[in-house]
Structure 1
């Protein structure tokens, strides 16, 4: 991969406070995404450092201006089950039986602390989501 030293030197780190700044950061990230393939060790290190810094700034802007809403506990459970290709029968022990799984997933029963603990431990669903 060939990166021009002049391009790297033209990148000035600054806070990302507008959509134009964010678009600029996205372009820089696109241009430097393969920086680990640069052969020259000095250029490679500079490019990777710039990529890291610009990415950090872009992520901060994204979190502030495009927050990802926290899913409800039911949505989180269903998503995790889908991701892991689990059926209600597979997770029944976390709920205390197949009937309770159905009741919880249909919104007829609330999660209790025992269920939350088992879901957190076994499905790795963040506790703050399960408690919301």
Structure 2
């Protein structure tokens, strides 16, 4: 097992190919192949995080996505945001989310609080 850091796209692609082979083998943890898969997985994940960082979604887009995902209407959002006019204000960006709204959206719809707060 020769494992080294992933410095470029070529290293990354070679590691992905090896990971694919190992995944197909479905090795047991603690075996040489299992250890190699685990270490390569960590290296690939680190490379991807550094080269292809994911931006956090906009809080309003996250709410809209959850509404679409769950088939929720403005009426369904009243327990989390308030009266319909307030829901429309929030969704249009005219009104910021309050701490209470963030808590209710997080607890009720499981939208990550970090996304709702807009923390990077």
TM-score for the superposition, normalised by structure 2: 0.87
Q: Tell me, in whole angstroms, the C-alpha distance in 1 between the residues paired with 2:35 and 2:72.
A: 41
Counterpart mapping for 1:88-107 below 5 A? 88-107=74-93
1:62 Cα offset (Å): 0.5
Q: Tell me, in whole angstroms, the C-alpha distance in 2 between the residues paired with 1:83 and 1:34.
A: 32
SS in 1 for 2:31: helix
Q: Tell me, in whole angstroms, the C-alpha distance in 1 between the residues paired with 2:33 and 2:66.
A: 37
What runs of 5+ residues in structure 1 fail to find an aligned partner?
1-10
Aligned length: 118
Q: Tell me, in whole angstroms, the C-alpha distance in 1 between the residues paired with 2:25 and 2:42.
A: 16
CA RMSD of aligned residues (A): 1.9
What runs of 5+ residues in structure 2 fail to find an aligned partner?
none
Q: Tell me, in whole angstroms, the C-alpha distance in 2 between the residues paired with 1:124 and 1:81.
A: 12
Q: Tell me, in whole angstroms, the C-alpha distance in 1 between the residues paired with 2:72 and 2:87.
A: 12
Which digits, 9 at most, give the CA deviation of each residue in 1:90-128, with x for residues without a partner?
A: 122100122211111111111111100101111111111
SS in 1 for 2:45: helix
Bigger radius of gyration: 1
Q: Tell me, in whole angstroms, the C-alpha distance in 2 between the residues paired with 1:50 and 1:27.
A: 13
Moved over 6 A (4+): none
- The aligned residue for residue 24 of structure 1 is 14
Q: Tell me, in whole angstroms, the C-alpha distance in 1 between the residues paired with 2:52 and 2:3.
A: 21
